[in-house]
Amino acid sequence: MSLPAVENDLKAHLREHYVDSDWRPALKAIMDAEGDTDVALNAVNALAEAASCRTGLKIHIPACPQ
């Protein structure tokens, strides 16, 4: 999947909640891995660890409309 396709899917799913600067590090890490699953997983795990240490982090998952 190309980067523009991933961005479009994220925007479609998150709608007005999509903030490019929030997703840029994760997208860059995945794209920089260039198909190397281990490198991609390590990068995402490092981002997840950094995010879990941030104070004030709120995860909001909107309900799917029925």
Average pLDDT along the chain, 66 residues, taken 10 residues at a time: 88 91 86 87 86 71 75
**Residue 11 contacts residue 18 (beta carbons within 8 Å):** yes
Specify if 38 maps to a domain: yes
Tokens at residue 45, please?
């795990």
Specify if 62 maps to a domain: no
Task: Quote the number of domains for the chain.
Answer: 1
Specify if 13 maps to a domain: yes
Instruction: Provide the whole-model pTM.
Output: 0.60
pLDDT at residue 62, rounded to an integer: 77
Specify if 64 maps to a domain: no
Question: CA 13 to CA 15: how far, in whole Å?
Answer: 6
pLDDT at residue 12, rounded to an integer: 94
Domain that holds residue 29: 3-52
Specify if 11 maps to a domain: yes
Specify if 58 maps to a domain: no
How far apart are the two ends of the chain, measured CA to CA in Å? 28
Specify if 25 maps to a domain: yes
